[in-house]
Chains A and B, each alone.
Chain A
Amino acid sequence: MRALCWEGVNDVRVQDVPDPKILDDRDLILRVGLSTACGSDLHLLTGHIPFMQAGDVIGHEFMGEVVEVGSGVTRHRPGDRVVVASFIGCGECWYCRNDLWSLCDNTNTNPGITQALWGADPGGIFGYSHAMGGFRGSHAEYVRVPFADHTAIPIPEGVDDLSAVFASDSAPTGWMGADLGGVRPGDVVAVWGSGAVGQMAARAAQLLGAERVVVVDRFDYRLRQAEHVFGVETLNYEHTDIGAALREMTGGRGPDVCIEAVGCEAHSYGPQHAYDQVKSKLKLETDRPIAVREAIHNCRKGGSVFVLGVFSGLVDKFPLGAVMNKGLTLRGAQQHGQRYIPMLLDRMASGELTTTHLATHVLPLEEGAHGYQLFKDKEDDCVRAVFHP
């Protein structure tokens, strides 16, 4: 079959690769319908996550049609239309049973790497390096879905493929940021990043009752989307002092909940950016936490900061003093998709949650490399490149 493979730093190519096979009776084989590039893949492209080999199939946000099921799969049959959670959950360990699916104890096949890095291994994820399980990704014609009864979720009638594909990863990630960030009715919520994840977090904050939601980015086309589709307020950090604007908007308090949806390659101007770039070039810092710093600095006293952006290792100039002295709650997580996906699909069906505008570029899989270039360089007003095999 054809699949988009990581071939080296900033080098992805569509190749012929072996078809996947059922390896366990709990597996299913999916014919991929749609599979979207995600901001997390950019961290693989740039080499921020070093546990990649040439030939690794990438992609983890996807939907499609079931074509084959193992004898132990009870919830799906060939022909079913399903969306697949990006994290593989066994459904039986303490973490899965407590709805912390991305922390599954039983799905990372290479636990030693992340145990050494982070002190424990999160669950396995499709197409996201050997440190996260070494599973083949979804930018392919077919993909094997382990623990299929939990990892694949049926798509209800009335939700089209292009809406549903975002229920795999970006929508539940955004929802988790607002939910576990503790958004309550009446809150003011600020979101850094107006990509798919940031926009989904902003929409989730609205649906959870936030009174004002502000999205921060530097790309006007992305901010305009968030404004037009969801009616949130926006701030462009190229033209505005974010701290001053947020204080003004919140009567001097600062937002109640700050959600970071940018990640380890955050952009900025001036000495802070130069500092982080030099540090990371010298391998003294693996990640650039610019938006995290800003979120912590601007959050109200006693407020909460949720880190959705992916970080892999160490950061520098971390404002611990602000966390401590302002009494902040700081949390982060990889997404617990299985916990939210059925509810999000229902909200899509009812029209409450719109996602199709994120798919600015729908391309054949063969144009995968071009899609990633558009997405990475934010060219042609790209928000997400979505591939169909």
Chain B
Amino acid sequence: MNAVKKAVAATGVGAAVVLGGRAVGRRREAHRDRSEHWLAVTIDRPFDAVSGLEALPGPLEELRAHVDLRLRPAPGDRGTEVLAVPKDDDVSREDLRVALRKTKSLIETGTVIQPDTPPTTHPGPLGRVLRLVVGKSAGEGRL
């Protein structure tokens, strides 16, 4: 069964994902600006298990109204690819990156790891630049 048929056949999350609209073919994926690309994570769980969930856990579900979402099996049965892109200005790509990562961690491990609090035991002024970078770092990146 190919990816699209699988997604259509699935219930729950799988049935709700956007397949038309901004859905993209492989050829078109290569010909767009960085800012238009779908953000993606691979969850190390079978496609049927992920697409069969009632709802995706964590922040991705909260953003659902504002994002287009696609699920497809990763090649070689290596899990489920979850792709998302903001539909409107209510969701930034940074928020969406964080949400994808957290949802992946929740499905794989049941939790999202926390740094120690406070991560630095006596934060001083020199660390301000680094704290800015770190503060944004969950949402920045390549994903």
Contacts and interface: CB of A to CB of B under 8 A. Distances in A.
Interface of A: 3, 5, 8, 15, 17-18, 20-21, 23-26, 51-57, 88, 90-94, 97, 105-107, 109-113, 115-116, 119-121, 124, 130, 133-136, 144, 146-147
B139 A112 contact: yes
Interface of B: 42, 44, 78-79, 101, 104-105, 108-109, 111-124, 126-127, 130-131, 133-134, 136-143
**9 A-B pairs with the lowest CB-CB distances in the bound complex, closest first:** A112-B137, A53-B127, A115-B141, A112-B140, A17-B121, A112-B141, A55-B122, A134-B119, A94-B44
Contacts of A54: 120, 122-124, 126-127
Contacts of B134: 51, 110, 113, 130, 134
Nearest to A17: B121
A106 B107 CA distance: 11
A115 B116 CA distance: 21
B113 A109 contact: yes
Contacts of A57: 121
A142 B115 CA distance: 15
6 contacts: A15-B122, A53-B127, A54-B126, A55-B121, A109-B114, A133-B113
A136 B113 contact: no
Contact of A120 (B109, B118, B136, B142): B142
Contact of B42 (A24, A91, A94, A133): A94
Nearest to A21: B117
Query: Chain B binding site: helix, strand, loop or mixed by DSSP?
Result: loop
A26 B137 CA distance: 24
A77 to B, nearest CB: 21
A57 B124 CA distance: 14
A111 B137 contact: yes
B78 A94 contact: yes
Contacts of B131: 53
A94 B136 CA distance: 26
Which of A92, A112, A115 gathers the greatest number of chain B CB atoms within 10 Å?
Answer: A112
Given A24-B111, A55-B121, A92-B109, A116 B140 contact: yes
A194 B66 CA distance: 56
Contacts of B104: 105-106
B47 to A, nearest CB: 14
Contact of A53 (B109, B114, B123): B123
Contacts of B143: 111, 115
Given A54-B126, A94-B44, A112 B120 contact: no
B31 to A, nearest CB: 21
B121 A113 contact: no
Contacts of A106: 104-105, 108-109, 112-113
A52 B127 CA distance: 8
B124 A55 contact: yes
A88 B113 contact: yes
Contacts of A136: 116, 119, 121
Nearest to A8: B126
Contact of B79 (A55, A88, A94, A121): A94
Nearest to B142: A115
A124 B44 CA distance: 19
Nearest to A3: B121
Which of B104, B113, B121, B138 has the most A CB atoms < 10 Å from its CB? B113
A26 B112 CA distance: 11
Given A53-B130, A115-B141, 11 more contacts: A26-B109, A52-B130, A53-B127, A105-B105, A106-B108, A110-B134, A112-B141, A124-B113, A130-B119, A134-B116, A136-B119
Nearest to A53: B127
Nearest to B116: A136
Nearest to A5: B121
B108 A90 contact: yes
Given A24-B114, A54-B124, A54-B126, A110 B137 contact: yes
Contacts of B114: 23-24, 109, 146
A269 B142 CA distance: 40
A313 to B, nearest CB: 16
